[in-house]
């Protein structure tokens, strides 16, 4: 047992060590070289170490180091990158030169290392933190709807048509927070509400099969949420918002005399003290919803602690927690009464759901050329509809995912670099609905990057995975990837890639035995893994002149899917659903993504994705896929004002499951299930920036679905009607 005296001595020794290791205490400010205005959010890193800082809203930064002189590198989009020696003698003022054009020097970690987006051989889209504020994003899934080639159908994320509709079960897109997978052990679904919106630095969306690095579930792509880092300058941010739904245009849909309000509050704080950094956030959200029996109450919390053991070793510990109570809306009564649930639905039933993620990472620079990262995590999920256990519709499940990964990176020489790693994921489920099961997935990967040919970056990698499960004898999965990135000229970059993806069937798909709202889901323990192969050719073209910047990115892609798992009706007379490997599919298409910026703070973005999703078994279109996705936005800043228009078009599905219209006990399972319609959604935001009370404050009025256009987000589900929201966001 450790005595109090020993504990005290240890603490003193620890503090002394911490104190004595600090020789340099560098403070400074980063400004624009012409206007002398502070640059907010610039990234400062000490070369050869893991330490650094981000400038606060006055442009200040603060770095402590054991060396008396530091070589730091400053990066900020739109400015020239600068490296400079600094010491703690005097506060340093560093001037950055604005580039003559709006640089698109965006940094991504798609290849498990940070690099310029232009050097990545696959399509990557980014959502930046400011997008969450202007669009009043309260959950990541809503933000994803603006990303080129991405559709979100309720909880299903579909990247270039990878997913249809399966009640959110078995996502074909892996969802990560700082590299940790956040998929539930039972349903393998994405838990969007656990992410701390105010502490997001960026979200990366990697399109195409990505199992060569990310393993199971990266069948259609990867979504990686990267949280921000704390700075020595404290950050306190609050966001308060409230909005109300318009009354439906048609009297038949008007089910409430009261104002239907969604409201929420987010708080976030971050600061670094010496070698220790802390970030925390709390969010409360309450939804009346425009639909009856679709209420939601949610509380989410996040805490992340960082400690720099030395300049070459640091550790992070993050805890995400979310608890919610939500109504169990599944589909409408009919088109005539589209905003109420089917007659006879027990509206007293609510789903209680808790999620807890604990993740830690240890980063260590071994020497000048090699680096190691160890990740360890737990993701616990629980849900129940709180019925009596003998009720036929009782649902309950507890799942734990244990995650471990060791990654080793080595810059072998100037031309070659290597990334290798091993990973294990154990899904343990204890569930009334899905039974008691354990699924283990073990993986190992290696990727080599070569730059020996001028202007060419070649990447080759392979990963192997093995699923261990009692009910099925699984094969090894081998997931190779090849990528080429060629800089043809200053303006043009060409890329091509091939990758393979796979997804092991979730325990829910294999062992579900559940009845709800007319559906009866039965088990299929024999399910095999889904397989995908992606091929992409892309071109990125920057047209630059002294005042304007136009970036054009064109991709053509071909994805082949085998053994796709789909919920399938067992027969034509009952709504008995079984998940089965039945589909072989090909999805080919073209994506054109354009960004146009001017010196006058005007930005226009437009992307068009054409998809040809073919079920080659039945020789018809895949179900629940659009052929065309067209997303556009206009943003204009005339400080202190900012206005933004977002328009999204999604063509109607060509194919849906006709058996959703099965007649059971005298009525259709889903009334008017056959309806298909194009979607046109226009969102408008107007913001005013202010510096009241010495805080950076932004007032935003946001109107979602401003045209009040009525469309479907899924069969039997009318999409949100017009919603007017007011938001105040303030940062201290």
Partner 1 sequence: MIKYNTIILIIIALFLSSCDKGLEPPEAVQPATLNINIDFINDWPKRDSIYGLRVVAFKLPPSDNLISEILSGNAQYKDLNNEYNVNYKNIQFTYEELPIELKYIVVAWQYDSLITEQRAIGVYNNSNKNEPSSIKLINSDTVNINIEVDWNDFPPQPF
Question: Under rule CB under 8 A, how many of the chain's residues touch partner 1?
Answer: 33
Query: Do 449 and 461 contact (CB within 8 A), yes or no?
Result: no
Task: Map residue 426 onto helix, strand or coil.
Answer: strand
> Residue from 9, 33, 116, 252 that binds partner 1 (CB under 8 A)?
252
Segment near partner 1 (CB under 8 A), from 67-75, 110-118, 185-193, 546-554? 546-554
Q: Smaller CB distance to partner 1: residue 469 or 718? A: 718
Q: List the interface residues with partner 1, window 49-88 (CB under 8 A).
A: none
Q: Please tell me the distance from the alpha carbon of residue 288 to that of residue 309, in angstroms, as a whole number.
A: 47
The least CB distance from residue 598 to partner 1, in Å, is: 6
Segment near partner 1 (CB under 8 A), from 26-34, 157-165, 261-269, 544-552? 544-552
The least CB distance from residue 519 to partner 1, in Å, is: 24
The least CB distance from residue 85 to partner 1, in Å, is: 40
> Residue from 284, 604, 616, 728 that binds partner 1 (CB under 8 A)?
604
548 binds partner 1 (CB under 8 A): yes
253 binds partner 1 (CB under 8 A): yes
668 binds partner 1 (CB under 8 A): no
634 binds partner 1 (CB under 8 A): yes
645 binds partner 1 (CB under 8 A): yes
608 binds partner 1 (CB under 8 A): no
98 binds partner 1 (CB under 8 A): no
Query: Do 327 and 336 contact (CB within 8 A), yes or no?
Result: no
Q: H or E element: which one contains 581? A: strand 576-598
- Burial class from Cβ neighbours inside 10 Å (0-12, 13-18, 19+) for residue 441 reads buried
Q: Smaller CB distance to partner 1: residue 286 or 632? A: 632
> Residue from 680, 689, 699, 713 that binds partner 1 (CB under 8 A)?
680
670 binds partner 1 (CB under 8 A): no
> Residue from 677, 701, 724, 732 that binds partner 1 (CB under 8 A)?
677
Q: Please tell me the distance from the alpha carbon of residue 17 to that of residue 573, in angstroms, as a whole number.
A: 74
The DSSP secondary-structure symbol of 508 reads: H
Segment near partner 1 (CB under 8 A), from 231-239, 303-311, 312-320, 334-342? 334-342
Strands (E), 488-547: 492-503, 514-516, 519-522, 530-544
Q: Please tell me the distance from the alpha carbon of residue 140 to that of residue 203, in angstroms, as a whole number.
A: 9
The least CB distance from residue 370 to partner 1, in Å, is: 47
Q: Please tell me the distance from the alpha carbon of residue 710 to that of residue 288, in angstroms, as a whole number.
A: 19
709 binds partner 1 (CB under 8 A): yes
Q: Please tell me the distance from the alpha carbon of residue 685 to that of residue 137, in angstroms, as a whole number.
A: 12
Cis geometry, peptide bond prior to residue 310 (ω within 30 degrees of 0): no
Torsion of CA 514, 516, 518, 519, to 10 degrees: -40
10 binds partner 1 (CB under 8 A): no
Query: Do 356 and 321 contact (CB within 8 A), yes or no?
Result: yes
> Residue from 675, 701, 724, 732 that binds partner 1 (CB under 8 A)?
675
255 binds partner 1 (CB under 8 A): no
The least CB distance from residue 677 to partner 1, in Å, is: 6
The DSSP secondary-structure symbol of 145 reads: T
> Residue from 94, 195, 209, 712 that binds partner 1 (CB under 8 A)?
712
Q: Smaller CB distance to partner 1: residue 321 or 602? A: 602
- How many residues does this entry show for the chain? 732
From 197, 271, 283, 187, select the one nearest 235 (Cα to Cα).
271
Query: Do 354 and 381 contact (CB within 8 A), yes or no?
Result: yes
The least CB distance from residue 105 to partner 1, in Å, is: 21
Rounded to whole angstroms, what are the CA distances from 297 to 198, 238, 685?
A: 19, 19, 25
Query: Do 170 and 163 contact (CB within 8 A), yes or no?
Result: no
Q: Please tell me the distance from the alpha carbon of residue 449 to that of residue 665, in angstroms, as a whole number.
A: 61
Q: Which residues are at the interface with partner 1 (CB under 8 A)?
A: 249-253, 335-338, 545, 547-548, 550, 596, 598, 602, 604, 606, 632, 634, 645, 647, 649, 675, 677, 680, 682, 707, 709-712, 718
């Amino acid at each position: 047992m450790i005595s109090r005296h020993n504990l005290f001595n240890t603490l003193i020794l620890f503090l002394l060590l911490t104190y004595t290791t600090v020789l340099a205490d560098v403070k400074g400010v980063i400004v624009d070289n012409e206007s002398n205005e502070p640059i907010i959010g610039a990234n400062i890193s000490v070369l050869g170490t893991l330490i650094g800082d981000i400038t606060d809203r006055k442009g200040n930064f603060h770095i402590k180091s054991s060396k008396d002189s530091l070589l730091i590198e400053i990066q900020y989009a739109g400015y020239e990158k600068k490296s400079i020696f600094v010491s703690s003698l005097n506060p340093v003022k560093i001037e950055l030169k604005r580039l003559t054009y709006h640089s698109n020097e965006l940094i991504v970690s798609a290849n498990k290392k940070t690099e310029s987006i232009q050097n990545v051989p696959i399509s990557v889209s980014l959502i930046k933190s400011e997008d969450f504020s202007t669009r009043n994003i309260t959950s990541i899934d809503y933000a994803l709807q603006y990303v080129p080639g991405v559709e979100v159908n309720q909880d299903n994320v579909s990247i270039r048509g990878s997913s249809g509709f399966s009640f959110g079960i078995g996502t074909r897109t892996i969802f990560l927070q700082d590299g940790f997978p956040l998929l539930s052990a039972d349903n393998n679904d994405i838990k969007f509400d656990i992410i701390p919106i105010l502490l997001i630095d960026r979200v990366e969306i990697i399109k195409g099969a990505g199992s060569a690095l990310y393993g199971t579930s990266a069948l259609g792509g990867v979504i990686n949420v990267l949280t921000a880092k704390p700075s020595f300058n404290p950050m306190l941010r609050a966001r308060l918002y409230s909005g109300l739904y318009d009354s439906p245009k048609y009297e038949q849909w008007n089910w409430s005399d009261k104002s239907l309000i969604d409201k929420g509050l987010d708080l976030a704080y971050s600061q670094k003290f010496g070698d220790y950094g802390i970030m925390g956030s709390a969010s409360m959200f309450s939804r009346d919803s425009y639909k009856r029996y679709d209420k939601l109450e949610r509380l989410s919390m996040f805490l992340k602690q960082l400690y720099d053991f030395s300049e070459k070793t640091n550790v992070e510990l993050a805890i995400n927690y979310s608890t919610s109570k939500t109504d169990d809306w599944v589909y409408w009564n009919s088109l005539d009464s589209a905003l109420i649930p089917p007659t006879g639905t027990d509206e007293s039933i609510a789903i209680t759901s808790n999620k807890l993620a604990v993740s830690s990472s240890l980063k260590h620079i071994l020497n000048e050329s090699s680096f190691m990262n160890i990740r360890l995590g737990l993701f616990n999920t629980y849900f129940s509809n709180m019925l009596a256990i003998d009720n036929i519709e009782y649902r309950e499940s507890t799942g734990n995912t244990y995650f471990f990964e060791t990654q080793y990176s080595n810059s072998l020489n100037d031309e070659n670099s290597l990334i290798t790693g091993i990973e294990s994921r154990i899904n343990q489920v204890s569930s009334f609905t899905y039974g008691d099961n354990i699924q283990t997935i073990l993986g190992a990967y290696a990727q080599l990057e070569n730059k020996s040919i001028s202007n060419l970056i070649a990447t080759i990698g392979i990963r192997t995975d093995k699923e261990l499960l009692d009910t099925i004898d699984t094969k090894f999965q081998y997931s190779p990837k090849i990528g080429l990135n060629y800089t043809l000229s200053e303006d043009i970059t060409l890329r091509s890639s091939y990758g393979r993806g796979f997804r092991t069937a979730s325990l829910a798909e294999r062992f579900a035995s559940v009845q709800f709202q007319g559906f009866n889901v039965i088990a299929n323990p024999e399910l095999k893994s889904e397989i995908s192969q992606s091929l992409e050719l892309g071109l990125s073209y920057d047209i630059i002149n002294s005042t304007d910047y136009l970036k054009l990115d064109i991709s053509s892609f071909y994805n082949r899917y085998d053994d796709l798992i789909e919920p399938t009706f067992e027969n034509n007379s009952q709504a008995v659903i079984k998940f089965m490997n039945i589909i072989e599919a090909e999805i080919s298409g073209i994506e054109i993504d354009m960004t146009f910026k001017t010196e006058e703070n005007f930005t226009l973005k437009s992307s068009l994705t054409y998809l040809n999703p073919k079920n080659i078994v039945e020789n018809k279109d895949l179900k629940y896929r659009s052929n065309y996705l067209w997303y556009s936005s206009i943003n204009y800043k005339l400080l202190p004002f900012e206005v933004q228009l977002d328009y999204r078009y999604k063509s109607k599905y060509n194919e849906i499951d006709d058996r959703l219209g099965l007649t059971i006990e005298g009525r259709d399972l889903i009334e008017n299930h056959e309806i298909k319609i194009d979607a046109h959604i226009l969102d408008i935001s107007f913001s005013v920036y202010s510096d009241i009370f010495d805080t950076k404050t932004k007032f935003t009025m946001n109107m979602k679905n401003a045209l009040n256009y009525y469309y479907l987000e899924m069969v039997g589900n009318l999409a949100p009607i017009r919603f007017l929201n007011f938001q105040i966001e303030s940062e201290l």
